[in-house]
């Protein structure tokens, strides 16, 4: 008979898209000698990569009951996270219901730090924030052994995927974030915190961790950091939000995500992302990745090139 700790840990969102927390958590838990069952939505090269790392791969949809029984049966602990989506609440409750049925030692839920500023009388206009708040409510009612992780904005979104083209083509950090301060965090650091919790969840059950980055600074400061890291002058341009969102929609960004990014930008401009906590270094024993180190790491993505 296997003991609980010998049962695998289920990691959802393991293929990875924007922050790829699930993929990084899989890698980190395997490096700690844990067995990992990595949940992917489809069989593709990313699923093969997870197998090569040593994970057991399960193909499942987080909103589907039958496939979630297959994914959860026999696991000890769960990391729950998926890409920003209108079905986030359905996926959370579906996964939680099946986890309750099978019984787990820990359910680590990925949320967002803005939920810390929300209450029964106050959410935000972002559909994704509201879904995260409701998902946290449902998990609190579930009686599951929940650990809640609420990071601030990821470096990999606004400061890489959404900024790379402007830096490459015009030496500009062209973002609609206003002039307030923000403390973006590396999703790899978030994954490290999640893997520490999953490795030994007992002391963390019932806790909420608010994770922030290396420093809270304005966008002119970050443009200066980009300049130093890349060795050429990069300037911040506070672009009008409406045109920026229309351009994203033109590139095929779904309405739900576009609406979330729009609200995040407005909250940035209002200074709502000017936050700092010590939760990350207390959990992991390591300081957050700085913007300088992040830009150096991704320097190839910011190299000067003309528009395709």
Considering the rule CB under 6 A, would residue 13 count as an interface residue with ligand NAP?
Answer: yes
Q: Whose Cβ is closer to ligand NAP: residue 22's or residue 49's?
A: 22
Please give the Cα distance from 34 to 75 (Å, whole number): 12
The string of DSSP letters for 155-202 reads HHIIIIITTHHHHHHHSEEEES-TTS-B--B-HHHHHHHHHHHHHS-G
Applying CB under 6 A, among 61, 105, 279, 301 the residue interacting with ligand NAP is 61
Which residues have C-beta within 8 Å of that of residue 195, sequence separation ≥ 6?
24, 25, 28, 29, 32
CB distance 212 to 183 below 8 Å: yes
CA atoms within 13 A on the CB side of 39: 26
Pair of tokens at residue 250: 């033109």
For ligand NAP (CB under 6 A), the number of binding residues is 28
Please give the Cα distance from 34 to 101 (Å, whole number): 23
Q: Are strands 77-80 and 172-175 parallel, antiparallel or unpaired?
A: unpaired
* Residues forming a β-bridge with 40: 59
Of the candidate spans 69-77, 78-86, 95-103, 284-292, the one that interacts with ligand NAP by CB under 6 A turns out to be 78-86
CB distance 71 to 10 below 8 Å: yes
Residue with tokens 């090569």: 52
Footprint of ligand NAP on 269-298 (CB under 6 A): none
- CA–chain centroid gap for 276, Å, is 17
Task: Supply the minimum distance, in Å, between the C-beta of residue 20 and ligand NAP.
Answer: 4
Please give the Cα distance from 99 to 68 (Å, whole number): 9
Task: Supply the minimum distance, in Å, between the C-beta of residue 154 and ligand NAP.
Answer: 4
Task: Supply the minimum distance, in Å, between the C-beta of residue 42 and ligand NAP.
Answer: 5
Please give the Cα distance from 289 to 159 (Å, whole number): 13
Considering the rule CB under 6 A, would residue 153 count as an interface residue with ligand NAP?
Answer: yes
Considering the rule CB under 6 A, would residue 67 count as an interface residue with ligand NAP?
Answer: no
Q: Whose Cβ is closer to ligand NAP: residue 84's or residue 280's?
A: 84
Considering the rule CB under 6 A, would residue 84 count as an interface residue with ligand NAP?
Answer: yes
Q: Whose Cβ is closer to ligand NAP: residue 46's or residue 171's?
A: 46
Which residues have C-beta within 8 Å of that of residue 90, sequence separation ≥ 6?
63
Applying CB under 6 A, among 36, 82, 89, 96 the residue interacting with ligand NAP is 82
Task: Supply the minimum distance, in Å, between the C-beta of residue 242 and ligand NAP.
Answer: 21
Applying CB under 6 A, among 9, 15, 71, 146 the residue interacting with ligand NAP is 15
Considering the rule CB under 6 A, would residue 16 count as an interface residue with ligand NAP?
Answer: yes
Applying CB under 6 A, among 42, 122, 143, 285 the residue interacting with ligand NAP is 42
Footprint of ligand NAP on 173-202 (CB under 6 A): 187
Considering the rule CB under 6 A, would residue 151 count as an interface residue with ligand NAP?
Answer: yes
- CA–chain centroid gap for 180, Å, is 22
Question: What HEC string does 232-283 produce?
Answer: CCCEEEECCHHHHHHHHHHCCCCHHHHHHHHHHHHHHHCCCCCCCCCHHHHH
Q: Nearest residue by C-beta to ligand NAP?
A: 19
What is the x/- site pattern for ligand NAP, positions 212-251, by CB under 6 A?
A: ----------------------------------------
Considering the rule CB under 6 A, would residue 83 count as an interface residue with ligand NAP?
Answer: yes
Task: Supply the minimum distance, in Å, between the C-beta of residue 104 and ligand NAP.
Answer: 18
Catalog residues that contact ligand NAP under the rule CB under 6 A. 13, 15-22, 41-42, 61-63, 81-85, 91, 110, 112, 128, 151, 153-154, 157, 187
């Amino acid at each position: 008979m296997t003991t609980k700790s010998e049962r695998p840990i289920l990691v959802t969102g393991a293929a990875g898209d924007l922050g790829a927390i699930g993929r990084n958590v899989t890698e980190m838990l395997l490096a700690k000698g844990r067995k990992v069952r990595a949940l992917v939505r489809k069989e593709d090269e990313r699923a093969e990569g997870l197998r090569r790392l040593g994970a057991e791969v399960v193909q499942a949809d987080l909103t589907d009951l039958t496939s979630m029984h297959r994914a959860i049966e026999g696991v000890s602990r769960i990391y729950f996270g998926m890409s920003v989506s209108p079905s986030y609440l359905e996926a959370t409750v579906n996964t939680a219901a099946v986890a309750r049925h099978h019984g787990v030692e820990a359910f680590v839920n990925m949320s967002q730090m803005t939920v810390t500023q929300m209450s029964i009388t106050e959410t935000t206009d972002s559909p994704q924030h509201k879904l995260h708040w409701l998902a946290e409510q449902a998990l609190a009612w579930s009686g599951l052994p929940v650990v809640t992780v609420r990071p601030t904005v990821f470096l990999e979104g606004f400061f890489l995927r959404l900024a790379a083209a402007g830096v490459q083509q015009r030496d500009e950090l062209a973002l609609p974030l206003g002039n307030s301060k923000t403390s973006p965090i590396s999703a790899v650091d978030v994954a490290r915190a999640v893997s520490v919790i999953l490795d030994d969840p007992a002391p963390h059950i019932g806790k909420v961790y608010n994770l922030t980055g290396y420093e809270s600074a304005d966008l002119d400061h970050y443009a200066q950091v980009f300049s130093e890291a890349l060795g050429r002058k990069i300037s911040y341009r506070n672009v009008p939000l409406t045109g920026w969102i229309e351009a994203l929609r033109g590139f095929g960004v779904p309405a739900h995500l576009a609406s979330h990014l729009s609200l995040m930008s407005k909250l940035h401009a209002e200074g709502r992302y000017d936050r700092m906590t010590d939760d990350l270094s207390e959990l992991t024993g390591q300081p957050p990745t700085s913007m300088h180190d992040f830009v150096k790491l991704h320097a190839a993505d910011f190299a000067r090139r003309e528009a395709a």
